[in-house]
C-alpha cells in the first residue's frame, strides 16, 4: 500500500490536475476571494482626505505602523475599510487560548469537542469586535489630530459622527475578512486567515523591491548591501523550506497479530514530531501583541500634548519600541520563544497521545505504556521545541535587525518570508492531497467497474 501511494504521488502531473474539477473550483474560489480582499484594501473610510494619506504613509514609513501596514497589504496606508486587517482577531484568539489553558471553565469547554470549540470561537469573535472598536476609535482620533501635526486636514468633517462611522466601518471590515477567511478554509484551499495575511505581504513585494533598487540607483543603498540582502533572502527561503519539513520520527510498535495466512506479524509505524510544531503562529502572535498597544499609543500620542507627562511617556514608548530598536527586538524574540512553547503545548498533548497509544495497544520500544510514555513524549517534544524556538528567533529577528541597521527601506525580513514560505508549502501540500485523493477515487471506480464486469 505504501509503495502504491508513492507511485501515485510521483505521477501527479498537470494532466491529473486538469481532471480534478473540484480542486480547480476550490483554487478559483480562493483566488477570487483574495482578489476581493485586495479590492477592499483600496476602499477608503468615508470622510477621509486622500492627500493626507500620502503624508501619513511617509511619516510612518519605517515605524511600527509601517510594519502593521505590511501585514494589512497596504490597507492602513490607504485608510481603507480593512485597515485593521485580521490582527485584532489574532490578538483575541491569543487571549482566548491562554484563558482556555488556565481557566477551568474554558478548559472544560475545550474538551467538549465541536460544541465547545464553537463557543470558544464565539468568544474570540466578541473579543475581536471589542479590540476593533478600541483600535478604530484611536485610529479615528489620530486622523483628526493629523491636521495640526502635518498641516493637512486628514478628516473632512471631524467629530463624533466621523468617529462612530469609522469605528463601525473598521469593525465591519475586519469581521468581513474573518468571514472571507472562513469561506476560503471551507470552500477553497489552505487556511483562509493565513492566506489573507500572506496575500497582504506578497502585495507589498513589488513596492519593497522598487524601493530597494531605487535606493541602489540613487546611491542611498550600496550595491554590496543589495547583493547581500538578495543572497540572504535565498538562504532564508532554503532554510525555512528545509526546517519546516524536518521531523523527529518516534518508532511505535504494536503487538503481533495474525495475518490471513495464519502467520504472526508485528506492525510498526512512526509518530512524526515536527521540529517547528507551532509553525508561523509564534511570530504572528508576538507581532500582534506588540502592534496592539503601539498602534493605540501612536495615534493617541498625536492627540496628546507632548510637553505633558503622559505625552512624554507615550512619545518615549513609541521611540524605544520602534521597529528595529533593541527593546522591540528583545520583546519580539521573547514573545516568539514563549508562544513556541505555549502553542506547542496547546496543539500537542503528550498525555492524550500516550493514552491513545495504550488503547490501541501501541508502545514505544523501551518505554512503558501510560505515564512513562507521556513523560517521554513531553521530554522529546521539549527538546525539539527548544531547537524550533531558536530557529524561529534567528529567522525572524536577525534579518530584520540587519535591515533596520542598514537602513533598507522595506520590511521584507525573516518574519515575512517565514509566513509566505510556510503558508505556500502548506497550501501546496493540500493541493497534492486533493490530487492524491482524486487518483485514489479513480482507482476505486475502476476496481468497481472490473468487479461488475466479472
Question: Per-residue pLDDT tens for 196-211?
Answer: 988 888 888 887 778 7
CATH 1.10.3370.10 positions along the chain are 23-203, 205-278+322-454
Nearest one of 27, 75, 108, 63 to 428, comparing CA atoms:
27
The CATH number of 205-278+322-454 is 1.10.3370.10
The grid coordinates of residue 179 equal 468571514
- Read off φ and ψ for residue 256, nearest 5 degrees: -65, 135
The grid coordinates of residue 361 equal 495497544
Predicted local confidence at residue 108, as pLDDT: 80
The grid coordinates of residue 37 equal 480582499
- Angle at CA of residue 153, ends 150 and 156, nearest 5°: 160
Nearest one of 208, 150, 167 to 83, comparing CA atoms:
167
The grid coordinates of residue 173 equal 471590515
Q: Residues for the chain: how many in total?
A: 454
Cα distance between residue 438 and residue 444, in whole Å: 10
The pLDDT mean for the chain works out to 77
* pLDDT higher than 60, residue 308: no
Find the DSSP H helices in 370-413: 371-406
The grid coordinates of residue 96 equal 482566548
Predicted local confidence at residue 248, as pLDDT: 86
- More confident: 362 or 124: 124
Is residue 432 within 8 Å of 12, Cβ to Cβ?
Answer: yes
- Read off φ and ψ for residue 24, nearest 5 degrees: -65, -40
User: Quick one: CA dihedral 259, 261, 266, 268, positive or negative?
Assistant: negative
Question: Which conformational region is residue 269 in: left (phi greater than 0), alpha (psi within -120 to 50 degrees), or beta?
Answer: beta
* Domain 23-203: CATH architecture, name and number where available: Orthogonal Bundle (1.10)
Averaged pLDDT for residues 434-454: 62
Find the DSSP H helices in 188-280: 192-203, 205-218, 223-243
Predicted local confidence at residue 32, as pLDDT: 93
Cα distance between residue 170 and residue 139, in whole Å: 10
Nearest one of 136, 137, 154, 156 to 146, comparing CA atoms:
154
User: Quick one: CA dihedral 2, 4, 7, 9, positive or negative?
Assistant: negative
Condensed to tens digits (0 to 9), the pLDDT of residues 7-39 reads 444 444 555 666 677 888 888 999 999 999 999
Query: Helix or strand or coil: residue 439?
Result: helix
Contacts of 7 (CB under 8 A, 6+ apart): none
**Furthest C-alpha separation in the chain:** 91
Angle between helices 192-203 and 205-218 (to 10 degrees): 20
- Name which of 9-13, 105-109, 335-339, 353-357 the model is least confident about: 9-13
Is residue 288 within 8 Å of 71, Cβ to Cβ?
Answer: no
Contacts of 328 (CB under 8 A, 6+ apart): 64, 290, 320, 321, 322
Cα distance between residue 85 and residue 181, in whole Å: 11
Cα distance between residue 409 and residue 212, in whole Å: 7
The grid coordinates of residue 327 equal 527593546
- Read off φ and ψ for residue 447, nearest 5 degrees: -65, -40
Nearest one of 200, 205, 186 to 30, comparing CA atoms:
186
Give the Å distances, CA to CA, from 448 to 5, 6, 22. Answer: 19, 22, 22
Q: DSSP states of 22-71 as a string?
A: HHHHHHHHHHHHHHHHHHHTT-BPTTB-HHHHHHHHHHHTTSHHHHHHHH
Question: Which run of H or E residues covers position 180?
Answer: helix 160-187
Averaged pLDDT for residues 97-109: 79
Instruction: For residue 103, count other CB atoms closer than 10 A to its CB.
Output: 13
Instruction: For residue 170, count other CB atoms closer than 10 A to its CB.
Output: 25
The C-alpha torsion from 162 through 164 and 167 to 169, rounded to 10°, is -70
Cα distance between residue 253 and residue 266, in whole Å: 7
* pLDDT higher than 50, residue 1: no
Averaged pLDDT for residues 108-118: 79
Averaged pLDDT for residues 123-128: 91
* pLDDT higher than 50, residue 57: yes
Query: Helix or strand or coil: residue 268?
Result: strand
Binned at pLDDT 50, 70 and 90, residue 97 comes out as: confident
Contacts of 448 (CB under 8 A, 6+ apart): none
Amino acid at each position: 500500500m505504501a509503495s502504491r501511494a508513492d507511485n501515485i504521488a510521483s505521477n501527479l502531473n498537470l494532466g491529473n490536475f486538469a481532471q480534478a474539477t473540484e480542486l480547480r473550483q476550490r483554487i478559483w474560489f480562493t483566488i477570487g476571494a483574495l482578489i476581493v480582499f485586495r479590492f477592499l484594501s483600496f476602499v477608503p473610510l468615508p470622510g477621509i482626505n486622500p492627500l493626507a494619506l500620502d503624508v501619513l504613509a511617509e511619516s510612518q514609513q519605517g515605524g511600527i505602523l509601517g510594519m502593521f501596514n505590511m501585514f494589512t497589504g497596504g490597507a492602513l496606508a490607504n485608510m481603507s475599510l480593512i485597515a485593521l486587517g485580521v490582527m485584532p482577531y489574532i490578538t483575541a484568539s491569543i487571549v482566548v487560548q491562554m484563558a482556555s489553558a488556565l481557566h477551568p471553565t474554558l478548559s472544560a469547554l475545550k474538551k467538549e469537542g465541536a460544541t465547545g470549540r464553537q463557543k470558544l470561537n464565539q468568544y474570540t469573535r466578541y473579543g475581536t469586535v471589542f479590540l476593533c472598536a478600541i483600535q478604530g476609535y484611536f485610529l479615528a482620533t489620530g486622523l483628526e489630530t493629523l491636521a495640526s501635526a502635518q498641516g493637512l486636514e486628514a478628516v473632512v468633517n471631524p467629530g463624533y459622527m466621523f468617529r462612530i462611522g469609522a469605528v463601525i466601518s473598521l469593525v465591519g471590515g475586519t469581521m468581513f475578512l474573518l468571514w472571507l477567511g472562513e469561506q476560503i478554509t471551507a470552500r477553497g484551499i489552505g487556511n483562509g486567515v493565513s492566506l489573507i495575511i500572506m496575500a497582504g505581504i506578497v502585495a507589498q513585494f513589488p513596492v519593497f523591491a522598487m524601493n530597494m533598487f531605487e535606493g541602489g540607483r540613487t546611491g542611498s543603498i550600496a550595491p554590496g548591501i543589495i547583493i547581500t540582502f538578495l543572497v540572504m533572502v535565498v538562504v532564508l527561503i532554503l532554510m525555512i523550506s528545509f526546517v519546516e519539513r524536518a521531523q523527529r520520527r518516534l518508532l511505535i510498535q504494536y503487538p503481533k497479530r495474525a495475518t490471513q495466512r495464519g502467520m504472526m506479524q508485528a506492525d510498526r509505524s512512526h509518530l512524526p514530531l515536527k521540529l517547528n510544531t507551532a509553525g508561523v503562529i509564534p511570530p504572528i502572535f508576538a507581532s500582534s501583541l506588540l502592534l496592539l498597544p503601539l498602534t493605540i499609543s501612536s495615534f493617541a500620542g498625536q492627540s496628546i500634548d507632548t510637553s505633558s507627562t503622559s505625552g512624554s511617556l507615550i512619545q518615549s514608548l513609541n521611540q524605544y519600541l520602534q521597529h528595529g530598536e533593541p527593546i522591540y527586538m528583545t520583546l519580539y524574540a521573547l514573545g516568539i520563544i514563549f508562544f513556541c512553547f505555549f502553542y506547542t503545548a496547546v496543539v500537542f498533548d503528550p498525555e492524550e497521545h500516550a493514552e491513545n497509544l495504550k488503547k490501541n495497544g501501541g508502545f514505544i520500544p523501551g518505554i512503558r505504556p501510560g505515564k512513562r510514555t507521556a513523560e517521554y513524549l513531553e521530554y522529546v517534544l521539549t527538546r525539539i521545541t527548544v531547537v524550533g524556538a531558536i530557529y524561529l528567533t534567528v529567522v525572524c529577528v536577525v534579518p530584520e535587525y540587519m535591515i533596520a541597521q542598514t537602513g533598507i527601506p522595506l520590511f521584507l525580513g525573516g518574519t515575512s518570508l517565514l509566513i509566505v514560505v510556510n503558508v505556500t508549502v502548506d497550501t501546496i501540500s493540500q493541493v497534492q492531497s486533493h490530487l492524491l485523493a482524486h487518483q485514489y477515487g479513480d482507482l476505486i471506480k475502476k476496481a468497481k467497474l472490473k468487479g461488475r464486469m466479472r
